[in-house]
Amino acid sequence: MESLIGLLVGAPLLGAAVLLCGGRRLDRAGHWLGTALAASSFVIGLLLFADMLGEETEQRAMHQHLFSWIPVNGFQADVAFQLDQLSMTFVLLITGVGTLIHLYSIGYMEHDERRRRFFGYLNLFLAAMLLLVLADNFLLLYVGWEGVGLASYLLIGFWQHKPSAATAAKKAFLVNRVGDVGLSIAIMIMFTTFGTFAFGPVFEATGETSEGKLTAIGLMLLLAACGKSAQVPLQSWLGDAMEGPTPVSALIHAATMVTAGVYLITRSGAIFNAAPDAQTVVVVVGAVTLLFGAFVGCAKDDIKKALAGSTMSQIGYMMLAAGLGPIGYAFAIMHLVTHGFFKAGLFLGAGSVMHGMNDEVDMRRYGGLRKYMPVTFVTFGLGYLAIIGFPGLSGFFSKDQIIEAAFAKGGTQGWILGSVTLLGAAITAYYMTRVMALTFFGEKRWSETGKDAVHPHESPKSMTIPMIVLAFGSVFAGGLFKWNESFVHWLEPVTQFEHGHSPLSATAVTSMTVVALVIGVGTAWLQYGRRPVPAVAPRGSLLTRAVRRDFLQDDLNHVALVKPGEYLTRGLVYVDHKLVDGVVNGTAATVGGASGRLRRVQNGFVRSYAVSMFGGAAVLVAATLLMRAV
Amino acid sequence: MSTTQSLHSLWTSAAAEPDKIPSPHIEYAQLSPTLIVLGAALVGILIEAFVPRRARYNAQVVLAIAGLASAFAAVIALALDGYGTTKAKIAAMGAIAVDGPALFLQGTILLVGVVAVFTFAERRLDPKKHGNHVDSFTPQAAATPGGEAEREAARAGFTTTEVFPLALFAIAGMLIFPAANDLLTLFIALEVFSLPLYILCALARRNRLMSQEAAVKYFLLGAFSSAFLLFGIALLYGYAGAVDYSSIARVVSNSEANVDPALAGTMGNDALLLIGGAMILVGMLFKVGAVPFHMWTPDVYQGAPTPVTGLMASATKVAGFGALLRLLYVVLPGLRWDWEPVMWGAAIITMLGGAIVAITQTDIKRMLAYSSIAHAGFMLAGVIATSEDGVSSVLFYLAAYSFVTLGAFAVVTLVRDAGGEATHLSKWAGLGRRSPLVAAVFAVFLLAFAGIPLTSGFTGKFAVFKAAAESGAGALVVIGVISSAIAAFFYIRVIVLMFFQEPKVDGPSVAVPSPMTITAITVGVAVTVVLGVAPQYFLDLAGQAGVFVR
């Protein structure tokens, strides 16, 4: 069975290679090929999953050593895979949601001339992401990490003719580079400390390593996670990344890639467990991002950007849970999986709405769409109920566990974190209700006649079926995981699990969560559901305006980073022109001048050649004699 | 009994008792590569004399290629038989060595020779004249340039098929040169390969005056350098009382027991040794084109017919460096402290001089000529290493370099305008747009010259610099790297010219060659890439061949 692991990565990689190198011949069938390969990867994942379930709990992890990548004395880098319960969870999520989104894209990208290329990129993304979660060492993980970044760049900028998309792609890439530097530094510290970067030896050696080093590694890993998972302070790229086609937003910037940071933290649990300071920073980053994303989600009128804010916020939940240590890892991953379902569903729903509304994204120009797009309305609605944590649906179970674990952290920290998570839950309910109300309820703020005429309609089957499947996941996944604590037991061998000791009883936490939910939904309904919504956004308070601009994140980056960078560059360019070029050009001029002068010796007269030979011979003989004399 | 004594007794006994001449013992099998080529050359002359004009071209091409190929097969057979390593010996009564370096270099020269013959035989580059194919060579060498006799010859469809036997003679001389184990054989080999080259240089079909001028210059300066060499040989004979390498080496290391009474006055006089050694070096450095004995190179390379230039630039260098290595390693190792500083100087000015002057060249053939000078400097750095690694690195470099050079000159023959080959650099502007394949191939050769990784040039340079550095010549390596950087400028400049400039309206066109030239260029590219990407096998081969028999 182990030999199948390589195929998980190989199938989409083959797809990417064929689709990107195959040329126009594949235009007609390329998307089916891409989808089939993604699906085959999913099937292989299911086979391996079935096999894994058949094994004893402790023997479930599988390894496959493919080849030695860089065999140098003292530096052994292998291409080897490790498939344990954590990786398996990710494999199923990535390939499952990935396949659905491939399917959805067939309809969504139908009229795009470059559809084949789009599917090539999607396949490339799947391959890189699978490599990331299957690698058995940090260096190979880094390869996948970079591959994911590349695929994300290519897909955000897929409509490169739009300057905004090109800029957004560049921005995402640059911000991610900052995080990548963190990961590479972490790997370097690991190598100097442990002499290896394979998971097993590194995690075993944490016991004998100084806490300072582990904290340094942990913080660098966190920096990497912040970049990929759009956590404060590297969050600024996610909103702009919505310039990419909607399936991309669903697959990469909601369900899978952005969770890579959570995977990294959870995978490196052994390091973080031994470095409490780093853990605290993880929790703080998670908590701050949770609220940041939630506020941003409240202020956006662009449906995809509102959802992007929500993504940031939900990943904040996961980060926070991962920072809690063994009491939280399992719940972080559980929320990650349920979030994968309902967020992908929500994005696909948003795409479906846009598809029917001539690619309009401003929610203030929607309204009353539930009658025109019933399937979208129902599936989006189920995703909505799941994300706000409506009792009984997926999000309820997973989020509730995180809130409970946050309280269980204990002490003042526990109370603060618990309150933050509760507040987050209320705000989540608020902004998601706002999205729901603006889009599907109220009166229609668009017209079927005139210049901007739109004719809302339900999307084709290839788009609605994935939405329906995901809606099922949104509804039932959480309950399934919670039933008998099956998910926690599944992950326990990898992430360990400790029961937190919450100062509040589980019932109390649950009821508080429900109260927060009701407050959030109620406020939003009063504000947007019952009153008519202006088609143009009101100016709003100072705070509203700041939040609309993502708390001035871009302005801050501009002043704090871009400007000094520009000055530095200008300074360096000046030095380069005056000093470096001066030296270089001076040398070149000297050599050129010498060349010109020496060239004149070559005058074409054989007599002067003979003289030069004679002179040379005389010098040679004299020098030889002189050497003996000295 | 040393060779001299045996020769001496040969003469005296021959005078006294004519019927008692001992027949010299010749190992025909071990000398077969050279003998085959010489035989083929002689048959070539008979073909010129007796075969009808129409049939000569085909007969000569087939004969030349068959001769060189079977000689190469003989080299391989000898090497497989162990003559390169365990069974290495000195054959022909001490005149010729059969050992690793000799076989490696002979193999290289023969392969290069085959490829060169392919370019010699090319006759599709120019349109037919008077219904006859024309090649790179003049219809009648003896006719006055531009005269009536020349036109007559052209109209009659004459071709100079003598070039094939001439080339074979030259190659035979080059085969003996690096294997020569006594100074007289060395000198004769030198003349055997030089004289045909002088003639070949004069045979260009276009620019005949320039071609003849080049030949005369080459001849005069070659004669001049031969004089140095011969004088050096005389002095060394005076010093050692012998001309074969091992005897001289024994005298140099003071281990010679029998002293010829006739030479007692001069033997062991160090002044004779030093001056003689230096003069022989002059002759060698002239052949490999080292500064300051290089001045013939640009003029001759430019004037000679390009296929001949290719042969000269590659095979001559191989032969010259082979002989130089054997001299320094077998005859003069005891004198290492005397010749090393001088060779350092020569290597430095050769590397720098070649690279610097090449920068301002405007003619592609002259540029390649200076480039060959710079490469001679790099190889001298390997020669100076005086270690087994030094020998094998130079052997590898020679093999790598000769194929790049031959290929590059073959490409030069393709780029033509109304006046023949368009060798002025300005005409190469934008070639990459018009003929991307040819330009790309040429770019590969240029990158190899510049020593960019994944080409044979890099491997070769790395090998010689490594050998030089390990033997303590670090400063030489630094200067070598600096000259490589300077040299990279003018190689890359041609690439920029070909790919990043607009083509000229009246620019040259690329002729469609026959399979002959295509084969030559393909072999060049293949060797360049293979020696760059997977050099280990060939490095090992050169490594095994790094020991001279003494």
Q: Which residues of B touch A613 (CB under 8 A)?
A: 221, 224-225, 282, 286, 292-293, 295
DSSP code string of A386-402: HHHT-TTSHHHHHHHHH
d(CA A317, CA A421): 7
Predicted confidence band of residue A451 (pLDDT cuts 50, 70, 90): confident
d(CA B317, CA B404): 13
pLDDT tens readout for residues A353-409: 988 888 888 888 888 888 889 999 999 999 999 999 999 899 999 999 999 999 988
pLDDT score of A118 more than 70:
yes
DSSP code string of B114-156: HHHHHHHT---SSPPBTTB---SB-S-TTSPTTSHHHHHHHHH
Integer-rounded Cα Rg, in Å, for chain A is 29
Per-residue pLDDT at B1: 47
Per-residue pLDDT at B289: 93
User: B61, exposed or middle or buried, with CB in 10 Å at 0-12, 13-18, 19+?
Assistant: middle
Q: What is the maximum alpha-carbon separation in chain A?
A: 110
Nearest to A364 by CA among A450, A442, A459: A442
Tokens 């360049």 identify what position? B528
Is the Cβ of A618 closer than 8 Å to some Cβ of chain B? Answer: no
Considering chain A, what is the average pLDDT of its residues?
A: 90
Window 570-589 of A: residues touching B by CB (8 A cutoff) are 588
Q: Number of Cβ pairs closer than 8 Å across A and B?
A: 86
Tokens 């084709």 identify what position? A460
CB A335 within 8 A of CB A318: yes
Q: Which residues of B touch A599 (CB under 8 A)?
A: 357, 360-361
Is the Cβ of A617 closer than 8 Å to some Cβ of chain B? Answer: yes
Query: Is the C-alpha dihedral spanning A485, A487, A493, A494 positive or negative?
Result: negative
Window 295-354 of B: residues touching A by CB (8 A cutoff) are 295-296, 298-299, 337-339, 341-342, 345-346, 353
pLDDT tens readout for residues A297-342: 998 889 999 999 999 999 999 999 999 989 899 999 999 999 999 9
CB B253 within 8 A of CB B335: no
For B241, list phi and psi in degrees, rounded to 5. 70, 20
Tokens of B380: 């001298």
CB B374 within 8 A of CB B314: no
CA A163 to chain centre: 22
3-state class of B67 per DSSP? helix
pLDDT tens readout for residues A35-56: 999 999 999 999 999 999 888 8
CB A82 within 8 A of CB A61: yes
Is the Cβ of A599 closer than 8 Å to some Cβ of chain B? Answer: yes
Nearest to A299 by CA among A626, A544, A29: A544
Total residue count of chain A as it appears in this document: 630
Mean pLDDT of A593-620: 90
pLDDT tens readout for residues B88-130: 899 888 899 999 999 999 999 999 999 999 999 998 888 888 8
Closest partner residue to A613 (CB to CB) among B216, B292, B357 is B292
The interface predicted TM-score (ipTM) is 0.90
Q: Which residues of A touch B342 (CB under 8 A)?
A: 620, 623-624, 627
- 8 Å CB contact of B342 and A606: no
For B79, list phi and psi in degrees, rounded to 5. -65, -40
CB B428 within 8 A of CB B422: yes
Could you give the C-alpha distances from A207 to A194, A241, A270, B143, in angstroms and in order?
11, 40, 9, 93
pLDDT tens readout for residues A580-595: 888 888 888 888 888 8
3-state class of B433 per DSSP? helix
Q: Which residues of B touch A625 (CB under 8 A)?
A: 271, 274-275, 278
Predicted confidence band of residue A232 (pLDDT cuts 50, 70, 90): confident
Beta bridge partners of B91: B96
For A594, list phi and psi in degrees, rounded to 5. -60, -40
DSSP state letter for A508: H
- 8 Å CB contact of B346 and A627: no
CB A600 within 8 A of CB B210: no
- 8 Å CB contact of A616 and B292: yes
Closest partner residue to B357 (CB to CB) among A588, A595, A615 is A595
Which residues of chain B have a pLDDT value below 50? 1
User: Residue B481: CA atoms inside 13 Å, Cβ hemisphere, count?
Assistant: 11
Chain A residue with Cα closest to B346: A620
Q: Which residues of B touch A615 (CB under 8 A)?
A: 292
Tokens of A104: 């959805």
CB B495 within 8 A of CB B438: no
Could you give the C-alpha distances from A178 to A182, A222, A256, A566, B115, in angstroms and in order?
7, 12, 20, 17, 55
Mean pLDDT of A224-241: 91
Window 12-51 of A: residues touching B by CB (8 A cutoff) are none
Tokens of B307: 């296929």
CB B372 within 8 A of CB B497: no
Mean pLDDT of A507-515: 91
- State if pTM tops 0.95: no
Chain B residue with Cα closest to A630: B338
Q: Which residues of B touch A604 (CB under 8 A)?
A: 299
Mean pLDDT of A174-198: 92
Closest partner residue to A613 (CB to CB) among B221, B270, B359 is B221
